[in-house]
Every structure is written in C-alpha cells, then in structure tokens.
Structure 1
Amino acid sequence: MKKLSILGMPMDLGQLRRGVDMGPSAIRYAGINERLNKLFNEIEDLGDIEVGRPAVKVDSDTGLRNLELIADKTKILAEKVDQVVAKDSFPLILGGDHSIAIGTIAGLLQHYQNLGVIWYDAHGDLNTPETSPSGNIHGMSLAVSLGLGHPMLTEVGGETAILKSENIVIIGARSLDEGERELIKEKGIKVYTMHEIDRLGMTTVMEETINYLKGKTDGVHLSLDLDGLDPNDAPGVGTPVMGGISYRESHLAMEMLAESNIITSAEFVEVNPILDEKNKTATAAVALMGSLFGEKLL
C-alpha cells in the first residue's frame, strides 16, 4: 500500500469528561507504528496538533461549550488533512473526541466532490444547537458536516465544504436523541442500528454499505468512534452504551472494507485511557486498524 500519514488530535473540548485528549498517546503506546509498518511502503507520523488545556467556555448565545476553540482547532486539522491528501498520502487521524471529525471531513471535502462517510458509532452525532440536550459539540459533528449548526463550525472548510446526506451510512447506532431521529428521517440518512446488525448480521450490513457507497462516491471516509463497540470490548470511552458491536464483528467489518478497497481516509476517536482497563481500548483500536489496512492471519 502507499504512504500513510498519522496525525494526532488530542482534543477533549467537545464534551465534559477529560482524558480523551490522551487518546493519541494511548494509541501510539499500543503499537500503531509497529502494527502498520508492514502494510505501507512509507509511514510518517506528523505528531499531534497543539491543543493545550484551555478552560471550558460556554457560548452565552447558544449554550455551546468551547465553540470558538473547537472552530479554531478543527480549522487547523482541516488544513493538515488537506495537505496530507494533496501529497497523495492516506490520512489517519487519532482522537480526541468526535468533534474532531468536523475538521477531518472539512479537509477531505477540499478534494472530493462526492465524499462518502461511514459513521461507526453508538451515536448519530446529528444534534444541532437547537436539539442538543447538552451543548456538547462532539454530539453535533456529523450535523455540522452536513452544513447544519453554528456558522463558526459549518464554515471550517469554507461555505461549499458540505457533505451530502445520501453519502452517509451510520453503523452501530443505539442511542439517538429525538432531534437526531427526526433529522435522519428528514434527510433520508442510511442507518444500521444494532437491531439491523443483529437481524441481518455484520456481513450483510457491510455488503450493503459498500454497495450503497461504491458507485456514487469518489472517496469514503471511515469515522470510527470506539464507543460503537460494546463496552466489554472497549471500556475506555466517555459515553459507553451497552449492547454494542462486538470486537469480532468489528474486525469482520474492517476486513470487508479492506477487501472492498473503498476507504480513502480514517479516524479513530474517543479513546479515553483514564476510563480504560490496561489500555484495552487503544489496543483494540490498533488491532482494528490492522484489519482495515489489509492485515491477514494467513
């Protein structure tokens, strides 16, 4: 495989629980470079974007936490991702909470007219300032990428960097707010909840996902939140939801994506080592990356 560029985004500004800013370090400690070295001709680790430890600020008009900071930092990430794609390298972003996807997707949209997104997550992250029960921006990132939300966030990649709702597939959803459910129906977003995964099986879910995206996209981004997995397999996440996708099912999903050859970028987010057990969640993330990039047992 070609060149891989790893970039850490140690940002925990999109939610309340601290610790997810240490996610990129935990993933590196779990051996990401050693695991992926044999799968790429060249790997460059670009280090981490500087985020610091700013105090929490709540926007008085909207109730959004850390609005300006997240807008500023995701804009930096968008520029970095843009640069990585421009030099024909595969961007792999390590989070950080899921608000970082605002920057990742904004950067990718500088290069793709019909970007597809697989949102592997227990949550839809489709809230807006009007529907959010918390004001946490990590629960709004996919809506922002659709052009819905505060202008400071929706314009991170410029006014035209808008994701198309028909190019999204959410996999693993099991915790959706009322406003998110309405938006999914209104926009016709394709969602495989845990009900569909249990009923159809992961093989069918992934076959349908790949076929749905393959013909109409010019690139597909995988945005994988570790809370998509069951907390037994990935305990180190900020918002765990019981009854999630198993470790084995997730490996199968990644292997099928590798075989399909449609993934052009990826991010792994919400690893929180403070809440973890012996770095289990970061280790799972690295193992899934191995499968995504074509690692085989035989």
Structure 2
Amino acid sequence: MDLGADRRGVDIGPSAIRYAGLSDHLKRLGHTIHDIGNLPVPQPESRPIGNLRLKYLDSIIQSSSELADEVYQALQENEFPLILGGDHSIALGSISGVAKAHPNVGIIWVDAHTDFNTEETTPSGNIHGMILAALAGLGDPQLVNLGGWSPKINKQQIVIIGARDIDPGEQALLREHHIHVFTMSAIDQHGIPSLMKQAIEIAGIDGAPIHLSLDLDSLDPRDAPGVGTPVRGGLSYREAHLAMELVAASQRMISMDVVEVNSILDRENATAQLAVELTLSALGKTIL
C-alpha cells in the first residue's frame, strides 16, 4: 500500500523484506511460516484522489477492511499475524482485526511521527498520518468506524516511542487525550530500557495483549535510509534492537506491523535488511 503517503515506493517494501530473507530467518528461529502473499491494493494512478484532506480514502477503507478480516482470521486460528507494509495506513486494517479478536489490546507505536492527525489538523491530507487517531476514535467517520465499531483501542493503552516530528494540531490532540508519548528527548534522558518497560506496562495493563507497530522511520536515517519521511535524530541501531528484545521478553505481543520501507529510496536493500533484523529481535532472537 502506498495510497496513504505522497512518496511512491513503499508498496514494494514487503517484497524487499521478503527478498532480505525474512521467512528463512524466522524458520531458523523455530517459527512455522504461512505467507499468504500480498493483499491486492489499487495503484494510486488507477484511483481518484478524492478529498485532498483525505486522499484515496475509499481505496484505503476497502483495503483496510480486507486486511482486518485476514488478521482476525489468523488470530482465530491461533496464528501470529505479522503484517508487512506499505505505508502506515495499513495499521488501520491490522489493528482493527486484532481489536476485534482482542478488544483489550494495547498498542506500542514505534515511529518518528505520532500519526494523530485528523482531517481538520492534517497539513498534507495523507491518511498514513491519521491512523492512530482514527483507531482511538478521532477523525473521519469512515476511518473511525471501519468494521462497524469505535474506538478500536483504549487511548490510555497507546504508547508512542521515538517521536520527534509532530504537527501542531497533533500536539494539541495528544495533550487533550492524554496519549503517552515517549519522544526522542525522553529517550535521551531516561534510556530505552526504562521507557520500554513503562511502555509494556501501560499498553499491557491488567494482562492485556500488545500489538507492536514498527515504522522504520523511527530509526535514524543513517541506519534506515530507505523510508519516505526520514527525520534526523532517531533511534540508534542498538536502541531499536533493545526495544524489540524487551517486547519479546515480555511475552505479551500477539501481532506486529513492519511498515514504511521505501525501496526506491533505499541503499542496497539496507533498510529492508534492518526490518528483518528488528523483526527477528521482536520475535525472540537474542545474541546468546
């Protein structure tokens, strides 16, 4: 999916991640893999943009509904859904499917951005910047009510890690709704171990399961050059790995997104390879 962003290229991110050997590496960890392939998503050239403050809304809703059904079915079959993107608008479908199966799910959103815009606050009209707000019940009714209910997640079980590029309207909404945001400044001051432990406790309160949504632009562009919206000063290679390792150690994660690998902007598939490495850490790989 690259309907939710302005820059083309993230639609081939899943292929790049597969090419970097994700399935083989996961099998070596002892996991059984069932790769259902890519869900069909229309290309932007074949669809009208529509409302410039909600670009490609109808197509995103359609694809998100299909993804939600697939994720829900996987969970019903006691499988772990690992969803590869694509831009971060895919999380509307993935988390809707998870929340249908587990209404108390908490969210750890690792991202340079908070994706908490609405039609009223967005400076771009790009829906990948609205998804977390929509899942929390804020924004356009079609986004908010995907699947027929809202909100999908409890605002107090949302934790955003690594934020460093937040639009003014988002800032106001985040404060108004008391969303837990651990910015890069907080990480610099307190360190990843302390903040990730807090994040796991907040998202997983009272034993709730956790969905991890990993946007590769959470990392510093020196480590992850192939993303559509790079922002300097992100997580280091080791900080990102440690964050994933701590989530794995909690044994609370039941599903995961890996998004925003833009192969057109990448160098020698380095960002896709990093996406594989971080996924492995989140799913149990350790140094020793």
Q: TM-score range by the shorter chain?
A: over 0.9
1:226 aligns with 2:216: yes
Q: Kindly state the Cα deviation for residue 204 of structure 1 after the two structures are TM-superposed.
A: 0.9
Show the 5 A alignment for 1:22-171.
22-55=12-45, 57-60=48-51, 63-160=53-150, 162-171=152-161
How many residues are paired up? Answer: 287
Q: Kindly state the Cα deviation for residue 92 of structure 1 after the two structures are TM-superposed.
A: 0.2
Q: Kindly state the Cα deviation for residue 259 of structure 1 after the two structures are TM-superposed.
A: 0.8
Which residue does the alignment assign to 2:162?
A: 172
Counterpart of 1:195 (choices 155, 170, 185) is: 185
Which residue does the alignment assign to 1:273?
A: 263
Q: Distance in 2 between matches of 1:197 and 1:170?
A: 12
Q: Distance in 2 between matches of 1:40 and 1:76?
A: 29
Q: Kindly state the Cα deviation for residue 279 of structure 1 after the two structures are TM-superposed.
A: 0.4
**TM-superposition CA deviations, 1:75-127 (whole Å, max 9, x none):** 10001101101100000000000001010111111111211000000000000
Q: Partner letter of residue 58 of structure 1?
A: I
Q: Distance in 1 between matches of 2:204 and 2:61?
A: 31
Q: Partner letter of residue 123 of structure 1?
A: H
Q: Name the stretch that deviates more: 164-173 or 31-40.
A: 31-40
Q: Kindly state the Cα deviation for residue 73 of structure 1 after the two structures are TM-superposed.
A: 0.6
SS of aligned partner of 1:84:
helix
Q: Distance in 1 between matches of 2:82 and 2:13?
A: 14
Q: Partner letter of residue 232 of structure 1?
A: R
Which residue does the alignment assign to 1:292?
A: 282
Q: Kindly state the Cα deviation for residue 161 of structure 1 after the two structures are TM-superposed.
A: 5.0
Unaligned runs of 5+ in 2: none
Q: Kindly state the Cα deviation for residue 216 of structure 1 after the two structures are TM-superposed.
A: 3.0
**TM-superposition CA deviations, 1:148-195 (whole Å, max 9, x none):** 111221122222452111000000000001111111111111110000
Counterpart of 1:248 (choices 238, 245, 253) is: 238
Q: Partner letter of residue 48 of structure 1?
A: N
Q: Partner letter of residue 191 of structure 1?
A: V
Q: Name the stretch that deviates more: 94-103 or 214-223.
A: 214-223
Distance 1:183 1:42, change over 3 A: same
Contact 1:103 1:157 in 2 (8 A): no
Contact 1:110 1:161 in 2 (8 A): no
Greater strand share, 1 or 2? Answer: 1
SS of aligned partner of 1:216:
helix
Which residue does the alignment assign to 1:7?
A: none
CA RMSD of aligned residues (A): 1.2
Q: Distance in 1 between matches of 2:150 and 2:58?
A: 20
**TM-superposition CA deviations, 1:45-87 (whole Å, max 9, x none):** 0100011324253324x63110100011111000110110110
SS of aligned partner of 1:24:
helix
Q: Name the stretch that deviates more: 191-200 or 151-160.
A: 151-160
Q: Distance in 2 between matches of 1:160 and 1:179?
A: 22
- TM-score, normalised to structure 1, is 0.93
Q: Distance in 2 between matches of 1:92 and 1:257?
A: 15
Q: Kindly state the Cα deviation for residue 217 of structure 1 after the two structures are TM-superposed.
A: 5.0
**TM-superposition CA deviations, 1:175-232 (whole Å, max 9, x none):** 0011111111111111100000000011111121122233335210000000000000
Distance 1:73 1:249, change over 3 A: same
1:18 aligns with 2:8: yes
- TM-score, normalised to structure 2, is 0.97
Contact 1:114 1:217 in 2 (8 A): no
Contact 1:144 1:153 in 2 (8 A): yes
